[in-house]
Amino acid sequence: MRIPELRWMLAVLIAAATLAAPARAEETVQRWLDRMSRAVETLDYRGTLVNVRNGEVDTLRIIHRADEDGVRERIYSVDGVPREVLREGDSVRCVLPGDEPMMLESQLAGRLLPSLPVNRLLGPESGYRMTMGGRERVAGMMARIIHIQPRDAYRYGSRLWLEERTGMLLRYALIDHDGRQLQQLSFTSLELGANISDAELEPELVGQQFTTESIDESIHSAGSSVGPVPVSPRVPRGFRLVNAGQGRGAGGAEFDHLLYSDGLSSFSIYIERAGEETMAGRVETMGPVHVYTTQSGGRLFTVVGEVPAATVEFVGRQLRRTSRLPSRR
């Protein structure tokens, strides 16, 4: 389908003052993240973004409106192959022209700008350490920086630039453990409080005959109520199963799909029936995305996500181990 221990010694006489500092810092980060989550969904805005990834630059326009009828959003490419993403609430349509024009439809929420679950990211089980940084100018506006550092090798870090007045996300960077920037999404221009007309939210790619395909028909999601799953591998701390479903591939082969997330990073497990032969695990790299594939116990396992190679390898090895255990049936 075109289709990531802070230690310190405390003297008794200054313990109270020292212990108060981390709490205030966390409250500040939480306040800014709360503001960001509200801003990216509830503000009306139009702007131009530049997405830099794998050495390639992609320029996008985003138009976003929130009113009594809900959220409507249109994202379209400025350069390269024309393509559009239209969101209305949780309904998403992706328009992909070309030799075989296609429109993908789904009820799975799709967002270009992240809306983060603050309680999970700042809770005791969080895999991240968050700190406030300094101030920088982005797209002509002053922004506060939040540094998000992973506590282990199983997730990437990131950096957020939030507009001082509203908390709107102006720039997002994905950072690896060596401090290298893997991806950056940044506004070059942004009009907050814009008056968005209905016409601006309509697609330009009209007048063509599109093949329509529903993503929801390919993966039948179990939603937030996860029922029985085919495997329950050990996963890195902080990740939990958030979705499980079944589907069919392009050739009609059935597969199981499991989605794990820590609130910021996520990876998927795909399980298909296969022969009894065993295939050693291998890792493929596509920029910040890693894929681990292995075959064992009559099943083909694929682990994929925008996570470090260590994450997909860890999960893939657990899947190999559990697939070799005798069945309890």
Residue range 246-288, pLDDT digits in tens: 877 666 678 888 989 888 899 999 998 887 777 788 899 988 9
Q: For position 290, what pLDDT does the model report?
A: 94
Where in the chain is CATH 2.50.20.10? 15-211
- CATH, domain range 222-323: 3.30.200.100
Residue range 166-183, pLDDT digits in tens: 999 999 999 998 889 999
pTM: 0.79
Which stretch of 188-192, 214-218, 257-261, 295-299 has the lowest confidence by average pLDDT?
A: 214-218
Where in the chain is CATH 3.30.200.100? 222-323
Separation between Cα atoms, residue 103 and residue 202, nearest integer Å? 14
The structure tokens listed for 17 are 């003052």
SS (H, E, C) the chain: CCCCCCCCCCCHHHHHHHHHHHHHHHHHHHHHHHHHHHHHHHCCEEEEEEEEECCEEEEEEEEEEEECCEEEEEEEECCCCCCEEEEECCEEEEEECCCCCEEEEECCCCCCCCCCCHHHHHCCCCCEEEEEEEEEEECCEEEEEEEEEECCCCCCEEEEEEECCCCCEEEEEEECCCCCEEEEEEEEEEEECCCCCCHHHCCCCCCCCCEEEEHHHHEEECCCCCCCCCCCCCCCCCCEEEEEEEEECCCCCEEEEEEEECCCCEEEEEEEECCCCCEEEEEEEECCEEEEEEEECCEEEEEEECCCHHHHHHHHHHHHHHHCCCCCC
Top-level class of domain 15-211: mainly beta
Separation between Cα atoms, residue 50 and residue 190, nearest integer Å? 12
